[in-house]
Each structure stands twice: as C-alpha cells, then as structure tokens.
Structure 1
C-alpha cells in the first residue's frame, strides 16, 4: 500500500547559488512534487522573516477592528475616491476584488456551509487610468485601505512591501518549475510580465471543537484557480492536503519562515494534467484564532495558456483548448461565489417556509 506523503520542506537557496548539483537536486525534488500532488514547502528564499512577522501583525491589527469599521471597505460594495473627488462605485467584485470580505461569503466545496473565514483582498495599486482598470481586467484596480487601523501609513507600506517581495518569489518558483519541464528558467517571462496576483489577509475565528466540521469549515475542500499559490501560515495549524493515492487528509504543520507552495488549476491545465492542482482545505479545530496570508499568482490576464513543452507523449493531443488567464480565473471566481449566494438564498427560503403563519387576533 502506498504510504501517504506530506508536502516536503525543500531548501530553495540553491536556485540562487552556483552549486549546480544542489540546484539540480532541488529541481528534481520540485518535479516529483508537481507530479505527485503539486504541493511542497520552501525555506531558504529571499523574503525576510522580519518582514513576514511585520505583515502578519498588520493582518491581526486589521481583523481586530470592529465589524462596522471593516465594512467601510466591503469589497461587495466597492467605492473609490478619485483625484477629482468623484465617488465611483463598483459592484462587480468578481473582476475587481479588493477590500474586506465578510465571514461566510465564499463556498468552495459543494455540500458544506459557506466558509468560516473573513478576509482583506489586496493587489497591485492600479490607478483609474491604467489599461487594466479601464478594460476591467482580472482583479485590477485601486486597493481599499482601512482608514481606522492603527498607524495606517505603516500598514499600507508594510503590506505593499510584502506584496512585492512575494511577487518576486512567485516568479522564482515558476523559474524552478520551468526547469522541471526541461526549458530555461526564463520560460514563463511572458506569463509573469504584467501579471496579476491577489494577496489575502485571512482570519479564521476560533470555533468549538464539537462543531460539525462539514458545515463549519474554514475553507472547504477545493483546488486553487490560478497558476501558483504561496501561503504564509501563523503558528496555528488547520491546513490539510488530500493524499490522492490513499484518500487521507494530511496536516501541513506550520514551519516558521516557510511558504507552502501549490500549483493551481490553470497550471495543471497547461501541463495537460501531468502536474497536479491538488485538493486542500482548512479546518480550524485548534480552539484558537488562525491567521494566514495566501498569495495567488494568476499571471498576465491576456496570456494565452496552451499546452506546455514536454507535457505530452509523442502523438498525444492536448486535453484542453487555449484559454486566457482572464477567462479561466474569472469563471472560477464566479462559480465559488455564486455557490455561496445560492446556499444563503436556499437557507433563507427554508427558514421562511418553516415559519408558521401568524393570524391577526381580533381582525
């Protein structure tokens, strides 16, 4: 029987060094992980531990705000004050996707309840005259910053410093993945130039251990939408990865300074299903609050995703037609949020049906 394999912890530093043997070993380890379940952890990267700690503290400061203050930047009712002092209101959060997200707004696993997490969505600062904003490209627009968080200037500066550091690391990760395909590390430059990425501050409230985990998941079982995800965890566990050969759920223990890396659906599609976008979930049974900061790297929205080199056997056809990053990821967002809205409407309808009619007395 196959033994379940948890995502291994790999030293990423050889990618930056001159030791060819160590670099080749790293590439081979990453290649094996991509074929097995698309998950691994890395240490030895270039994002400073001190910056990781500062950004995690920023996340906690935001979620400590009263709900009414967080709702001032509700991403489902986006508003942005332009330089001309004209308030623009955006309602299509599937294409803009910046700001605060309430608990139970998303539902990634059918048959569960909407998810027990709240978030703050952040991306590159896109001014209103930028082509991505004008053309309503994927997740592209100005950030919505909390105005009542303590030391808000430092909050914004640290957040964006971290965003750009992890953006560069995502490009490095794709450079190693390119080497696993037998091509140059620069192969994905057309994908990473002008790329869109979304970072989330996430907070999972503590929940009683006797809660029904089917209905009260932090995040339901799902695969990620884009190319690659880089996750920073705090000290509280809860992330689980499905080991497909055995059907077991494996805990991914937090490692100080490490990133959990996983491939997304878009990359698996380009790899003709040879590299895996694997199912994972979060169930916070710790009795504590949990914080994490995932970084979802989608790519240039206009990049045409086609079958990658060395991902087909001779004579084997590509399983999927070409598709842009924009179309692939947008459709996935729409499905997950639509599922949550449908669940809520059905729940409300059941409550109304179960409420007995009230007869007026003395009519």
Structure 2
C-alpha cells in the first residue's frame, strides 16, 4: 500500500508497507519510496580483520570494537584480509557457473526435493522467500555441514548421538553431480575455508560483546551451517521489488537470515541491497577481495536486539549472470540459545526465552511458512 505525499515539495516521501517473516513472526516495515542509492562507508564499513588472527589480544579487541559498531548500526560490514585465498573463491565461482550452465534435466538429477535434508539443486521459478514479492528469479545449490570435511572435529563415528541426530550431511549432492568432479572439489574447498573464517569471526563477536573470546566455541564445535551457491539470471531494471505488485519479480525477495551471521562472497556484478532502519534501500556494491558479513536473527535474539538483523534482498539488474556464495553460520542444533547476561542493561528485561536451537530453527521456518499461507489465503 502506497501512502500519498502532499503536493508540498518538502513533504515526507511516499512509503509502502513491506511484509516479511522475522525471528518474531511476520512483521511489517515501512519502506521509503526514495531512489535507491549506494551505501556510504559509515553505513556498510570496510573492516580489515587480519588482526583477528594476531597473537595480540589488544589487536583482536580493536577489530571487535569495529564489529560491534557495525553490528549495532546497519548490521552489515565488509571484511578484508580475511585469510581466504582468491583462488578458492574464484574456483568455486567458476565451478558454480559450469554447473548452472548445464541443461535443466542434468541439473535436476541433483534436485534438493530428492534429499531428506534438502541438499542439492533448487530449480528456477520454485522459490519465493517473500510471497508478497513474487517468485524469486534464481537457481541455487545448497550443501549442509558435514563433519567429514571439518578438520576440527573428531572422527564422525565418535561424535555423540545427541549431536549427530541433528546433522543433515549426506552424499546426495556429490553422487548426483558426479559428472562434474571439479564442482565438488571447489565447493568443499570453499566450505572448509569458510569454516575457518567463521570460527575466527565467532571469537571476534564474543569479544565485541565484552565476553571471553572462547564463550561460543563449544556451541559451534558442531555448527548448524551451510553454503548456498546461487545463480541469478539478469533481470530487467524496470522490474522493481515493490511489495504487493503482482508484476514484481525479485531476484531474491526481502528477508532476514536465520542464524548467527552470514559470510557472503559476491561476484563483481552487484545486486545485493539492504534496508536501513529508516526505510531507505541501499546498494551493497561489491568490493574486490572482500566478503560481506551480516547479522542474522539468532544473534539479534541473544543480544536482546542490541545487534541488528537487517532486511536485505537481491536485484540483478546488471544485465549479466550473477553468482553469490553465502555461508550461513549458527550454533549447533543440539545447543540452546538465550539472551546473554551482558546484553541486559540496568532496568532492562530479557525479550526472549531460552530455547533449543533446533526448536528456534523450526519456529523461524514456521514464521516464514505462516507468511506464505497468509499470501495464499489472500490475507
């Protein structure tokens, strides 16, 4: 719904209402109908995180303070000098293009619907992360955490049963793409590099909250994490993602991520957009040799809303194919999550109860399905 502004040139801009799922159920955000603009360095800062690998606690704390500032502002930041070699990301991107440029019948052999854990290929025109914005114009390939590729874990057979019952690893993604051995090799190499980086960032986030840096180590020993290999065909620039517009066709609809944080590699074509708290859409343009990191719902929850899980979407108006490779990172599903004592100030209350991470994930997914059902029922 668009709210009309008065004829006064100085009047407030027009707005629309955007519905989306969140960690607290379906919510509505007011979106300014002002032109899309590029984010400034203060809105999405670039942080050199090389000191997180330093032996100096002071240097690690200095980076953590910058992360704290970004997490309490827009909830997005770029990271440079992150330790992931460019050949790892380049090879993964090239392997993605090789896979997605195959004919559809070949790709469908790896269809995620044939996996009990939804590992594998998701076909075009089948996903709509935000029902109000229509069907997403993308293809994807998802791979869940597999302890067999994690050098920090014991032998899989030695992992406790209460942990393994929540794991969603399997051979389906690779058995069904055996015609492309390079695809598995490049994707696994990228997954391994992201595991190392995510654990380092987890410690930095602990420091950013004035906690001992090993506070979350046990909770991510067997993480709930995955990679999404995304392929976006070019979209006409005339097609916006206006809520409730039946002609809208987003590349990826407006949403927030579920877990602690996401590490995103994106190619040079651009398309990622974030929504400021005041309702302004911003371009998160690619910055060479960086990842984008964004806060997700679970981290907002355990920080009592101190850290911001920011709404974002994708519109590939570049006129070219776009590849992105998000790495989603969270506590193990056998763990629990609750508001941290350090995030409850004097006179404040905990906004959220302690909950098992598996129950939290199911609750978050249910909120997304509720939004979908509302749309299907015309509400």
Q: Select the residue among 199, 213, 233 that pairs with 1:185.
A: 213
Q: Select the residue among 52, 67, 73 that pairs with 1:36.
A: 73
What does 1:243-322 align with in structure 2 at a 5 Å threshold? 243-244=276-277, 246-322=278-354
Q: Equivalent residue for 1:166?
A: 194
What does 1:201-212 align with in structure 2 at a 5 Å threshold? 201-212=229-240
- Structure 1 distance, partners of 2:182, 2:163, is 26
- Structure 2 distance, partners of 1:320, 1:242, is 24
Q: Equivalent residue for 1:330?
A: 362
- Structure 2 distance, partners of 1:154, 1:280, is 31
Cα distance, 1:288–1:132 mapped onto 2, change above 3 Å: farther
1:295 Cα deviation after fit = 0.5
Q: Equivalent residue for 1:357?
A: none
What SS does structure 1 have at the residue aligned with 2:133?
coil
1:274 Cα deviation after fit = 0.9
Q: Equivalent residue for 2:174?
A: 145
Whether the 8 Å CA contact 1:298–1:329 is kept in 2: the answer is no
**Root mean square deviation of aligned Cα:** 2.6
Whether the 8 Å CA contact 2:163–2:334 is kept in 1: the answer is no
Could you list the per-position Cα deviations for residues 13-47 of structure 1 after superposition, in whole angstroms to 9, with x for gaps in the alignment? 01112455543332211111111122111011111
1:193 Cα deviation after fit = 0.8
- Structure 2 distance, partners of 1:294, 1:22, is 27
TM-score by structure 1 length? 0.82
1:157 Cα deviation after fit = 1.9
- Structure 1 distance, partners of 2:164, 2:257, is 27
Whether the 8 Å CA contact 1:107–1:336 is kept in 2: the answer is no
Q: Equivalent residue for 1:108?
A: 129
1:124 and 2:175 matched: no
1:23 and 2:56 matched: no
1:106 Cα deviation after fit = 2.8
1:242 and 2:275 matched: yes
Cα distance, 1:191–1:138 mapped onto 2, change above 3 Å: same
Could you list the per-position Cα deviations for residues 37-68 of structure 1 after superposition, in whole angstroms to 9, with x for gaps in the alignment? 22111011111111110111111111011111
Of structures 1 and 2, the larger Rg is shown by 1
Q: Equivalent residue for 2:263?
A: 230
- Structure 2 distance, partners of 1:7, 1:76, is 36
Could you list the per-position Cα deviations for residues 59-89 of structure 1 after superposition, in whole angstroms to 9, with x for gaps in the alignment? 11110111111111111232xxxxxxxxxxx
What SS does structure 1 have at the residue aligned with 2:200?
helix
Q: Equivalent residue for 2:84?
A: 47
Whether the 8 Å CA contact 2:303–2:339 is kept in 1: the answer is yes
Runs (4+) of structure 1 moved beyond 4 Å? 18-22, 126-134, 146-150, 337-343
1:97 and 2:151 matched: no
What does 1:59-78 align with in structure 2 at a 5 Å threshold? 59-78=96-115
- Structure 2 distance, partners of 1:126, 1:186, is 21
1:338 Cα deviation after fit = 6.7
1:229 Cα deviation after fit = 0.4
Cα distance, 1:143–1:8 mapped onto 2, change above 3 Å: farther
- Structure 1 distance, partners of 2:178, 2:58, is 48
Cα distance, 1:172–1:34 mapped onto 2, change above 3 Å: same
- Structure 1 distance, partners of 2:175, 2:65, is 44
Q: Equivalent residue for 1:86?
A: none
What SS does structure 2 have at the residue aligned with 1:295?
strand
- Structure 1 distance, partners of 2:297, 2:48, is 25
1:164 Cα deviation after fit = 1.3
Please identify, of 12-21 and 276-285, the stretch whose mean Cα deviation from structure 2 is larger: 12-21
1:213 Cα deviation after fit = 3.3
Q: How many residues align?
A: 325
